[in-house]
Structure formats: structure tokens, C-alpha cells
Structure 1
Amino acid sequence: MNNAIELGDEDCGHLARILLASRRVNLRHNFFSWVHGPVQSLIPHEILLCGIADEGGYLLHQRFTACRYFKDDHYHRVIHPADGLIHQLTHEWGAKREPRLIAALTDDPDGWHRRLLDLELKNLAFHGLCRVDGQMWGYASFSRLRVPFDARLALFMELLLPHLLVTLARVLANEARTRSLGDRHAGLITAREAEVLAWVRDGKTNEEIAAILGLSMLTVKNHLRHAMQKLVVRTRGQAVARAIALGFLRAQSSRRPE
């Protein structure tokens, strides 16, 4: 049925912009901005749940939503491995391998609409992608959509899903690589050196850090010098950035402003 649908210039333009923008997505916050930016032009939504199978076939679920009604409890119920919504949708999708569209229904004999309301999803468009062995490689489930649930939506799901999953895979691979790099450098800097760098991140001078930690200025300078040598950087700012990248520091302070 989707083969008969022709896309106009505007839709083709949206599709091209989505695909081009995906090439710049490498981090989780980039992915969030992408799905809540360019992707909205073809699939306007509030909640995206998606996942990719690992080497053992276990789905690594992800969520990208700014919807304040969709809580952690809803999410965990949706992805429950035994009786969660994604588990059921995956099995249903496996029979036909076509997008599953569930709109807000007035007549609800199967109970789908009541279940979606209970989970704060309202409606749902689900599609999956298989590996060469026929097992599911990944899926995407859009909810709180603001478009007709028709063949055009199904077509957009089919067109965008491969690019969405490849982009997500790149983000997850980058995160895994960062964690691995951090593991290799575990213990590289001492707890005291990390503490000094945390105060540098917060904008404190050496004199202020010495007063806060009850150390001499010389000791603070030595901690900084040793940290910079171990992190192979030349400046305080580079040391902070490197420590954040390796997972030794948070990007932002958890301390309350004075």
C-alpha cells in the first residue's frame, strides 16, 4: 500500500534535512535534539522509545521525551521483559513486519486505547528492523503523535527507522567507547587531584582552593601539576575537560551556589 504513495517536494525536503542532520549526531543530547527537531517535521511526537539488540539479542531500551506526564514507572512498565507493551508489540510486529499504528480509539474492544491511556502514551506508532538471521535488531515507538494514523505515517516510519537506529547505534557506541577509555584510565588521577580539579571547574583560584581544602598553595599547585602530567594536558582548563571526558568529573557541579 505504501508503494502507491508519492511524496511531494516539501516532504522530500524534510526527509533530506532529517538524513543530513543525522550525520552530525554523535552524543545523546544531539540525538534528543535531532528527534525533537528535524524528525518532528515528518513524525510530530512527544515520546520516543527505541532500542537496539546487543550481541546476545537483549534489547537495550532508550527513551527520549520531554513529556512531564510520562514517568519512570510508566517507562519501566512499558519495557518490562515479560508483559510490557514493547514485548507484546515486538511479537505482534514479528508476524507481519509492518508498522503498527494504534490511534486514540472511541471503540476499544481490544483494550489498546485504555492501556495506552494508563501508560500516558495516548497513541502509538511502532516499527522494527530485523537482522539477517530474522531476529529483531531494533525498534522505534513514537507516542503522543499529532498526525493522522494513515499510510503516510506508516511510510515515514519505514523510511526513517533504519537511519534512526543507525544513528542511535553510533551514539551508544560512542558512549561505550568513552566508558572503556575511562576504565583504562581508572586510578590515573588520585581522589585529591580530582577534588582540586573539581574546584578548578567551579572557577576557584589556587588560593581559594587552598583555603577551602586547608592546604598550602604549593600543595594545590603540585596536585594540579601532577594531574596535568597524568592527563597529558598543558593547562588547567584542558585538565578539567579531559577529566570530564574520562568520567572523573561531572560536567557541572552538584554543589549548591553559595
Structure 2
Amino acid sequence: MHNTNELTDEECGHLARILVASLRVTQRHHFFSWVHGPMQSLIPHEILLCGLADESGYLLHERFTACRYFKDDHYHRVIHPGDGLINQLSQEWQAFGEPRMIAAHKDEAGGWHARLSELELKNVAFHGMSWINGQIRGYASFSRVRAPFDGRLALYVDILLPHLLATLVRVLAHEARTRTDSERPIGLITAREVEVLTWVREGKTNDEIAAILGLSMLTVKNHLRHAMKKLVVRTRGQAVAKAIALGFLRAQGVRGDTQ
């Protein structure tokens, strides 16, 4: 295995096919097929989490995985803005400026092996990009990677990250342009729903929000469900992001943070 940053002819061929295939990616299912198709030749993986910062610095997360073990609960714990894995990896990446590679079964300080196993990730290859002010612009986190965690994998992640994020931007921009009337918000969210979303933005669970607001957990869940229906979204994170984009909710407290 090479120790330099030079690619072999075979690696160059894989890279060329990945880049050319990306030109046909305009929709979410195209992106899924791309990362679980051509990109597997250099980074064989089962779970891809990635994020892009919006104009306010709020980090919007996306996941592309067919792993049946990685559930919604795992995902929300991973992207938690406080003690979530992505937040910690982002901080370590910003400190060192290079891909963060954590292989399975490798004893490291901080109990990484147990934590990754608990979250059904097994391993992680994380890398980010920053704005000129040093704040995070976007990231990609590959897990359940079936390749040696060495300098070659770090090189592949380093090379592909900018193109991966640019392709994701194209997909999200296409979705925004082609969104139909039926996919637009169908009503104003209430002050209480905004209040619940405010605490969701801060990474609080339904139980924690219920305790803070003096409500039952069922009431919190109903408020959140109604807000998601009005905003025409599927997840808590999407509800917060859309509420911010539409001006219902401010992105205060998350600039420069990871969510």
C-alpha cells in the first residue's frame, strides 16, 4: 500500500468514474445510488451522514443509509448538538484539520469503541470543510466502512469530500426549485409549537422539553407532530431547519455549533 499522496492508475479510474457519475445526480435517490454505487469502489461503507451549513451557520444534516440496524434514535443521538458524536468529531477535526479516523475494535481514549458499537456505527471516517472564518461549512461521516483504516482511506475521504458536498448542494437546490405547492407549509405553526421547536433546536428530548415547559410528554409529541405536518417534513431536524428558513424560528445559539 502506498504511503504517498499519489494515486495508482486503478485508483484514478475509480475516482474518474465517481466524478463523472456525480454529474447525473440531481435528486435524492440519485445521490443515494451514487454513494452506494460508484463511491463504494474507494470508500465501501453502509452509513453516510453529511451536513451543510446554511446562511446563518445552522448545520443541516442528511443521512443516506440502508443499514437496518441504524435507527432514528441512533441518528438523533449522533447529531445531538451537545454531546452528539458529530459535534465531538467536528471539534476534533477543527483542532487537527485532518480526517478523523476511528477503526472498529481499536482501543482509544474516550471509549470510542463502546460508543460506536452502541450507536450501531462500528467505525467512522469523518472529515469537514470550513469557511474562511474557520466555522464549519460541511462534513461527511462514513461508518461501517469495510476497508483498512489507513492513509489511503484518509486520502480518499480528503479528495472526495468537496465533490460530495457540492453534489449534495445541487440535490438540495433542485429540491427547493421543484418543490410543489403540496409540499409547502400548509399553515402557520402556533406559538407553542415554535416553543417546542426552539427546544428541539437546542437538542432536548421530548421528556426534557415536557419538564421544561410543564407539559406531558404526549402533549409535546402532539405539538411536534402538528408542526411537522404543517411544515411538510418527516424529521425533527428538518422541522427545525424549515422553521428557521421560513422565519418562524431563529438560528440563535447554533452559529458555529454542530447540529
Do they fold alike, i.e. is TM over 0.5?
Answer: yes
For residues 38 and 59 of structure 1, do their structure 2 counterparts lie closer, same or farther at Cα, with a shift above 3 Å needed?
same
Alpha-carbon distance between aligned partners in 2 of 1:142 and 1:3, rounded to the nearest angstrom: 22
Match of 1:89 in 2: 89
Match of 2:99 in 1: 99
For residues 86 and 12 of structure 1, do their structure 2 counterparts lie closer, same or farther at Cα, with a shift above 3 Å needed?
same
How many residues were matched structurally?
186
For residues 118 and 6 of structure 1, do their structure 2 counterparts lie closer, same or farther at Cα, with a shift above 3 Å needed?
same
Match of 2:137 in 1: 137
For residues 21 and 106 of structure 1, do their structure 2 counterparts lie closer, same or farther at Cα, with a shift above 3 Å needed?
closer
Q: Where in structure 2 are the equivalents of 1:1-258 lying within 5 Å? A: 4-179=4-179, 182=181
List structure 1 segments (4+ residues) > 3 angstroms apart after TM superposition. Answer: 183-187
1:110 Cα deviation from its structure 2 partner: 2.1
| Cα deviation code 1:178-200 (max 9, x no counterpart) | 23x5379999xxxxxxxxxxxxx
Match of 1:254 in 2: none
CA contact (8 A) 1:108 1:114 kept: no
Question: Percent of aligned pairs with the same residue?
Answer: 70
Code of the aligned partner of 2:51: G
Code of the aligned partner of 2:107: D
Match of 2:213 in 1: none
Normalising by the residue count of structure 1, what TM-score does the alignment of the two structures yield?
A: 0.68
Code of the aligned partner of 2:159: L
| Cα deviation code 1:43-84 (max 9, x no counterpart) | 000000001000011111000000000000000000011111
| Cα deviation code 1:13-68 (max 9, x no counterpart) | 00000001111100000000000000000000000000100001111100000000
For residues 171 and 15 of structure 1, do their structure 2 counterparts lie closer, same or farther at Cα, with a shift above 3 Å needed?
same
Structure 2 gap ranges (5+): 187-231, 233-259
Structure 1 gap ranges (5+): 188-246, 248-258
Alpha-carbon distance between aligned partners in 1 of 2:183 and 2:86, rounded to the nearest angstrom: 36
For residues 110 and 23 of structure 1, do their structure 2 counterparts lie closer, same or farther at Cα, with a shift above 3 Å needed?
same
1:6 Cα deviation from its structure 2 partner: 2.2
Superposition CA RMSD, Å = 2.1
